[in-house]
Amino acid sequence: MAVMSLYTSRGFHPSLTDWRNHSRFWEGRVEHVELGYELSGRCFGASRSIACTRWCRTVVSCDSGRASRGISAGAGQAEVDSGAHPVKFRYDVMLSEVSTWGIGGPARIYAEVSTPDELATVLRYCTCHNVRWFVVGKGSNCLFDDRGFDGCVILNRINFLEKLGTGRYRVGSGYAFNTLGVQCSRDGFSGLEFAGGIPGTVGGAIYMNAGADGQETGDVVQNVEILTTSGVSHSLSRDAGELKFDYRFSPFQKMSDFSVIVAATFDLQPNSDAKQRQRIYLERRKRTQPVTEKSAGCVFRNPGAGCQSAGALIEQAGLKGVAIGGARVSEKHANFLINGGGSKSQDVQALIALVKEEVHKKFGLWLQDEVLYIPYNQEQQL
């Protein structure tokens, strides 16, 4: 079972305005750099003459009601200043470094955030500058393009945990889902035992409604805090009927103004067997899944009631061990595609297509992807 840590697609919809119009390396003096300011929720452009030495990059943060400019003095880095919440931008970071598949070219812009305010700062900046963005947690269950991402990749490090009372945990969306499952089980609470060994984040687990062993994330989520596309904080509650989950589905996948999950509150039940059950699930996962190899977890969704699992169908189609380039179908669990060394994104895409075709030929049904392919640019997405 895999978790989609890369849990928001809303960053795709702004069209990409060439980043070089806003900030780039220059030899000598920059005469005119387009700056996007946000004032009372509106973005507008301005032009200024900015002195900039070699290896300096000029960036602007869009902060509610004001604009500020930060200039870094290091090659390949810049700082977005938002009052008490500065965020450093890096450039051309290889996405293979933040992907469990170990695949992906460079991100044009890259930022790590550890608080909701830092996340909001980067999102406002990207929105003001029409820069595509994508939030990634552990980088599982997503496939980056070999060319990278022509926008801003935001690594979510909002990883706090608060114990609110008996069985109630408020957790940052960047918190490791595996760690949460182990923690709750050791505390003697049931509902997330299945999370042990899953390489994702809380945000990804909620967005995809991750589940296994008869449990699902959505069953124990009480409250979810999000940012909307307009940058407004909003909280959704189970008690208010706002959190309706289904198999690998959450309401955030269809929410028109959804931007990103920030935090969530879980409500678990006391159970003296939780710790032992979590260990049993984890040991079985280690025996039956290629947990030590580079993968994105399960690649295909299970077809549903009355049908065999996707892994069983792939195995019966004789595809275990089949490879294209550096990508191959795992001999241990057929629903895992492995980067056996030097695999490219196009290898994985071709192998996914082959698996779908062969399963369709044998069983007459088309498998659906559980992983998400992240295109390099807006045009490729369309």
Question: What are the φ/ψ torsions at residue 19 (nearest 5 degrees)?
Answer: -55, -30
Assigned token pair, 116: 């909701």
Assigned token pair, 327: 């990508």
| Catalytic residue flag (residue 248) | yes
CA 151 – CA 381 distance, rounded (Å): 13
| Catalytic residue flag (residue 370) | yes
CA 351 – CA 324 distance, rounded (Å): 6
DSSP lists the bridge partners of residue 170 as: 162, 265
CA 316 – CA 308 distance, rounded (Å): 10
Question: What are the φ/ψ torsions at residue 29 (nearest 5 degrees)?
Answer: -100, 135
Instruction: Count CB-CB contacts under 10 A for residue 66.
Output: 12
Specify the length of the chain in residues.
382
Q: Position 4: which residue type?
A: M
For 314, the enclosing helix (H) or strand (E) is: helix 310-316
Radius of gyration from C-alpha coordinates of the chain: 22
Which of 112, 118, 216, 370 is an active site residue? 370
Which of 52, 56, 142, 298 is an active site residue? 298
Q: Position 149: which residue type?
A: F
Question: What are the φ/ψ torsions at residue 89 (nearest 5 degrees)?
Answer: -95, 140
Assigned token pair, 81: 């200043």
Q: Which of 210, 225, 93, 191 is nearest to 141 (CA)?
A: 210
| Residue 110 Cα to chain centre, angstroms | 13
For 206, the enclosing helix (H) or strand (E) is: helix 202-208
User: Quick check: 265 and 222 in contact, CB under 8 A?
Assistant: yes
Which of 10, 124, 132, 248 is an active site residue? 248
SS3 label, residue 378: helix
Active-site residue list:
248, 298, 370
